[in-house]
Amino acid sequence: MSLSVAVAGASGYAGGELLRILSSHPEFDVTTVTANRNAGQPLIALQPHLRSLRHLQLQATDPAVLAGHDVVFLALPHGASGAVTAALPAGTLLVDCGADHRLTDESDWKQFYGGEYYGAWDYGLPELLLGGGGTQRVNLKASKRIAVPGCNVTAITLALAPGIRAGVIEASDLVAVLAVGPSGAGKSLRTDLLASEILGSASAYQVGGIHRHTPEISQNLAVAGGVDVSVSFTPVLVPMSRGILATSTARLRPGVTETQVRDAWETAYAEEPFVHVLPAGQFPRTADTVGANTALIGLAVDKAAGRVVVVSAIDNLVKGTAGAAIQSANIALGLDETLGLSVDGVAP
């Protein structure tokens, strides 16, 4: 029997991607979609690519509308979901794609987001390595409250966590530069996201440790076993609609060999259906992850600099958001975690 599903924030990019994947999920039946200022319009007017869901109409994002479903996915702006989820029944599986329930430290929330703190939920990155062994998926089984990671966070966490848990890299000097597509910023009309502004150009933003994903990255790498984690990451807006290519580097621990480095990553992800370590000398392209719930990883050792270089690629709207949400929900419900999710991208 299908599980009834509601998607809040269905008119945005993340909401649309959730619906695209959910529309072909064999165990989920999307019965309700909600929005804020677009309430009252047909879903197809805002998401014209979702032909199979053209019968749905956007309703107001109200707890009374969302209550009564087996699963509720929320794709609302940061700071908007906490009040909504607080009013929903304890027995409903809630999966939040926003930031409201990601951070375990209230002071981090106040510094980087502000507003009321609603507490941390089970973290929705199944492949997150735990310092003592195992992965985060053990904490998602039978969960009723799941917080999906930030997309930049996913790219960097998956890139660096294996080296930290295996003890082959230092956690105190981590640097990452990310090429990111503008869909990660949502559909809000902003001058800096207009095609005329970004086509033929690349620009860094949120430079100098002020990006909201910074404490979340540190939080994850500490969970993976990092001590005195220090990470500096710089996102760069580039003219591709979706995707993240993260180049992350870390200092090698003394005496560590290239073989030990590669073993650390290959061992960590050997059984993972969605995280693939590429052969030596190969590095991923964002194009190969479009539409797929995959994270592709290439790594090298820069002997002269004494650093490991890890290049990771994801689709920010799939593995970075909607795919992770559905993968985590599958685990929580006791389903095959790969259900409804693809490892195949779209080409060309």
18 CB neighbour count, 10 Å cutoff = 30
Q: How far apart are CA 339 and CA 274, in angstroms?
A: 12
pLDDT at 186: 77
pLDDT at 274: 98
Element at 126 (helix H, strand E): none
Query: Which three-class secondary structure state does DSSP give residue 320?
Result: helix
Prediction pTM value? 0.96
Instruction: State how far the alpha carbon of 298 is from the alpha carbons of 2, 28, 84, 119, 198, in Å.
Output: 39, 34, 40, 35, 27
pLDDT at 189: 73
DSSP label of 188: -
* Per annotation, catalytic residue among 151, 231, 244, 301: 151
The per-residue pLDDT string of the chain (348 residues; one tens digit each, 9 = 90 and over) reads 699 999 999 999 999 999 999 999 999 999 999 999 999 999 999 999 999 999 999 999 999 999 999 999 999 999 899 999 999 999 999 999 999 999 999 999 999 999 999 999 999 999 999 999 999 999 999 999 999 999 999 999 999 999 999 999 999 999 999 999 988 777 777 888 888 888 889 999 989 999 999 999 999 999 999 999 999 999 999 999 999 999 999 999 999 999 999 999 999 999 999 999 999 999 999 999 999 999 999 999 999 999 999 999 999 999 999 999 999 999 999 999 999 999 999 988
Would you say 2 and 27 are in contact if contact means Cβ atoms under 8 Å apart?
Answer: yes
pLDDT at 192: 80
Positive or negative: CA dihedral 322, 124, 108, 249: negative
Angle in degrees, CA 339, 162, 96, rounded to 5: 45
Residue matched to tokens 């502004």: 197
3-148+319-332: CATH number: 3.40.50.720
pLDDT at 1: 64
Domain coordinates in residue numbering, the chain: 3-148+319-332, 152-316
pLDDT at 36: 92
For residue 158, what are its two tokens? 């998956």
Architecture of domain 152-316: 2-Layer Sandwich (3.30)
pLDDT at 98: 95
- Helices 151-166 & 258-269 angle (0-180, nearest 10): 120
In the annotation, is 151 catalytic? Answer: yes
pLDDT at 184: 79
* H runs (alpha helix) in the chain: 13-22, 43-46, 63-66, 81-85, 106-112, 151-166, 195-198, 214-223, 258-269, 323-332
Q: How far apart are CA 327 and CA 65, in angstroms?
A: 24
Q: Which residues pair with 29 in a beta bridge?
A: 4
